[in-house]
Structure 1
Amino acid sequence: MQELDERFDVAAVVGDGLIRACDLRELGVHPSSVQRLERAGVLVRVRAGVYAKRDEWNALTPDDRYRRLIVATAGAARHPLTVSHRAAAAMHRLPMLGPAPTLVETAAQGRTGGRRTAHVATRRAGPPPTVTMIDGVACTSLLRTLVDVAVSEPLVHSVPMLDVALARPDITRRALALELERVSPTRGRAKAEHAIAFADHRAGSPGESVSRVRIHELGFEAPELQVRFDKILGSYALVDFYWRGIRLIGEFDGRLKYSRSRSVSGLDPAQVVYEEKLREDALRRVGERMARWGWSTAWAPRELHRLLTGFGVPTRR
């Protein structure tokens, strides 16, 4: 059994975490051994002919699992493929919200497309995209990926990606607009133009991006972003949203903000919560009000509408 484990470890190293049946055959592992370990729960099937160790697979984030599926699918393809849309977004490490996709999207040449297999969905791609290699996978360029996602996905999915990308010096609104013009989609163009115009590099997190989209979709007046309040606890406070006319601060509180606090700042999460409470109290003392919400509210339009209406946030005229 130890010798078998070592062979699986060798295959995992060769496959960068993925265990390919072809590598196992070369190492002398019989297919029946693979099937037996899969039934026993030691291995998990990533896709046909590709496996991973169950404990290692369970330790991955959903995004990392999806990236492993993309790598496995590209490696198993009979013909070279170019990963596109949400699959390319995942490879570019753009924020992926909602359930991880189960299909790998690829770019079709010209305006054909719409084909689907057990693992691959071929999307209409327009003119040939610029290709970049990520982890050994051919992907549409970051600029093209952002445009494809803006064309095909709702704002709550595309805007967080665009917000993150616009913080980079090589991605500009003009470059996105020019790429959209080059792609010239037959559908989704107006939606993409709206997403590109709406995106803002000042967004501090995907949760803030989703919240901003929801605030807009619900018809509320747009808040100011990343507003600074001086002389707060001997320093300053930077808030996510601010409706100046009604002196209301809006703060998105994702669990990630606190769960990552130790790795980012070295502080204990409980200490971060305590200091956040002191900050909020200081802002209230200078006459500001505070509305807080998290992911469950940001994803539920009725709840966010009820919250902001209760605080008197005005609607757009």
Structure 2
Amino acid sequence: MARRPRTRLPGDISTLLWRGDGLLDLPTARTFGVSPDRLRRLARSGLLVRLAEGVYASAETMPLLDEWERHALMARAFVLSCHDAYATGWSAVINWGLPTLGRPPELPIVMRPKLASRGTTFSTYGRIVTAALPPHHRWQRRGIRLVSQAWAAATVALNAPVAAALIVADAVARREHDLAEAVRQMSRWPGVTRARWVAEHADPLAESPVETLGRFAIIAGGLPRAVSNAWVGMERPEFRVDGLWPYHHAAHEADGSCKYNNRPDAAKVVAQEKEREWRLRRLGLDIVRYDFALAAYRRADLIRRFHHLLRDNPPSTAPIRWWKHVPGVGPVEPRPGDWPSPYPVATILPPGWYDERR
């Protein structure tokens, strides 16, 4: 366990919060001889904060969390206060450790299995929806109930901007969960058309949110599709590129600032990147690079860069040598179905794909 931070809280309360991964609910408190009145007094004195009915957190800890970390904690608290409820949507996504884009919802959302007497309800601490939740999509993690990763991604895809939903879907597909099966369970739900689109376009080979955003720019721009994380090399697989257009002898590469920031070996990393790019260009690849800000907030500019790259490198009848990446295996020879078309692919995006309907 991580070391407990210093706190003004009484030792027994601090220990219980530590054991509860930042939360203390009334049943746990009673088990260890802590009365509800004592918790309420600590809340009135500003040492505890109530995140849900009968669930408390340290008031000193909350300001140290970013907005998604706060949402994750609030969601866990709300689940603890709601009998037989499961965190769902973004509240489940963040508690599964899946990637997010944008700001979290103001309040957590949980799901209860559907019964005739139940409907959607709101409280000060969150929103409760009811739905037919199959047993195999009911999970527990870190002491709370939450929907499966596939169900979480599917519920987000119902109403989130498509790019944000696709980031989650790619991560879920990479973890080998069946997003399409979850979407099939929602055939009559509002927004299911959007969720189906996201499930159909999820790519388990996209390994980071910025790669997904680059991939989505290609789709939105109606450009020829690239192969995600393909291997290239002179006579054997040497390097992986984030996206490869084999017929155009072109590639796109997403730059992550975490590769360089606050590292004692940053200069070495930069030198290795320069050497790698020189080798890739010697193979005959033309490359366009982009970062998260460009992909997330200036999509039209990124589409233009991709368009210019492909325009300047028209399709060749002799594609570059490449290998498909198989997670857990490595590079393998591509099959005929693995080859992308060298021509633009027109894709109809879901209506209102850029909007969010939380």
- The two structures have a TM-score, normalised by structure 2, of 0.71
Identity score, percent: 23
Query: Does residue 120 of structure 1 match 2:126?
Result: yes
- Give 1:60 shift: 4.2
Q: How many angstroms apart in 1 are the aligned matches of 2:295 and 2:199?
A: 21
In structure 2, stretches of 5+ residues that fail to align are 1-6, 312-342, 347-358
- Give 1:106 shift: 1.5
Q: How many angstroms apart in 1 are the aligned matches of 2:127 and 2:275?
A: 50
Call closer, same or farther: CA 1:47–1:218 in 2, change over 3 Å: farther
Corresponding residue number in structure 2 for 1:223: 226
Corresponding residue number in structure 2 for 1:212: 215
Q: How many angstroms apart in 1 are the aligned matches of 2:244 and 2:150?
A: 31
C-alpha offsets along residues 173-199 of structure 1, whole Å, 9 cap, x if unaligned? xxx434333332332222222211211
1:159 paired residue among 166, 182, 185: 166
C-alpha offsets along residues 70-90 of structure 1, whole Å, 9 cap, x if unaligned? 12112233x332222221222
SS in 2 for 1:204: coil
1:52 paired residue among 58, 79, 83: 58
Q: How many angstroms apart in 2 are the aligned matches of 1:37 and 1:296?
A: 38
CA RMSD of aligned residues (A): 3.5
Call closer, same or farther: CA 1:75–1:279 in 2, change over 3 Å: same
| Equivalences for residues 10-49 of structure 1 within 5 A | 10-18=15-23, 23=29, 26=35, 34-37=43-46, 46=51
Call closer, same or farther: CA 1:25–1:259 in 2, change over 3 Å: same
Corresponding residue number in structure 1 for 2:302: 304
Corresponding residue number in structure 1 for 2:270: 273
What is the aligned residue count? 301
SS in 1 for 2:200: helix
Q: How many angstroms apart in 1 are the aligned matches of 2:233 and 2:42?
A: 66
Q: How many angstroms apart in 1 are the aligned matches of 2:260 and 2:36?
A: 45
Q: How many angstroms apart in 1 are the aligned matches of 2:120 and 2:226?
A: 40
Call closer, same or farther: CA 1:5–1:273 in 2, change over 3 Å: farther
- The two structures have a TM-score, normalised by structure 1, of 0.79
* Aligned AA (1:121): R
* Aligned AA (1:91): N
When structure 1 is superposed on structure 2, of 244-253 and 122-131 the one drifting more is 122-131
C-alpha offsets along residues 128-157 of structure 1, whole Å, 9 cap, x if unaligned? 553111122111223333332333333212
For the Cα contact (< 8 Å) 2:43–2:50, is it kept in 1?
no
In structure 1, stretches of 5+ residues that fail to align are none
For the Cα contact (< 8 Å) 2:245–2:251, is it kept in 1?
yes
* Aligned AA (1:201): P
